[in-house]
Amino acid sequence: MSVRAIRGATQLDLDSVAEMELCVGQLLTQMLEANNLSKDDLISIILTATQDLKSDFPAAAARKIGLGSVPLLCSVEIDVVGALPRVVRVMMHANLEGGLTEVKHIYLKGAAVLRKDLAQ
C-alpha cells in the first residue's frame, strides 16, 4: 500500500452555503467511490476555493458527509486573470493499493476543462 494524492475539482453555479455543500459533497463522495476508499484510508484533504467563493468553507461540506475526523485544510486559490470562476479544488491524500496510473481523479461540472488529461 502506498500514499497517493488524488486530484479533483468542481465548479459551483453560484456562491451559497447550499451549493457549496452540494458540489463539494458530490465531488468528495465520487473521489472516494471511484478509488474504492473509506474514511479510514484517508490521511488528509486540502481544499482550495477561488476568491469569489465566500459563503462557506469547503471543509464544512466535507464534515457534513462524515469526514470530520480527517485532517482538512482550506486555502484560497491564486487569483489568475481569466481563470475559471467559482471553483473548489481538492487534493486528497490516501493509502491506496496500486500504482499512480490507477488513481482516479475526478473533475465535475465546468471544472472538467481544467485537466482534460486527468478527468475521468
Catalytic residue check, 102: no
Catalytic residue check, 77: yes
Q: Which of 21, 23, 86, 107 is catalytic?
A: 107
Q: Do residues 102 and 62 lie in contact, with contact meaning Cβ atoms separated by under 8 Å?
A: no
Q: Which of 4, 21, 86, 89 is catalytic?
A: 89
CA distance 63 to 74: 12
Q: Where are the alpha helices (DSSP H) in 4-118?
A: 17-34, 58-64
Q: Which of 63, 86, 97, 102 is catalytic?
A: 63
Q: Which of 4, 7, 23, 86 is catalytic?
A: 7
Catalytic residue check, 97: no
Q: Which of 4, 23, 77, 86 is catalytic?
A: 77
Within 8 A by CB and 6+ apart from 33, the residues are: none
Q: What residues are annotated to the active site?
A: 7, 63, 74, 77, 89, 107, 115
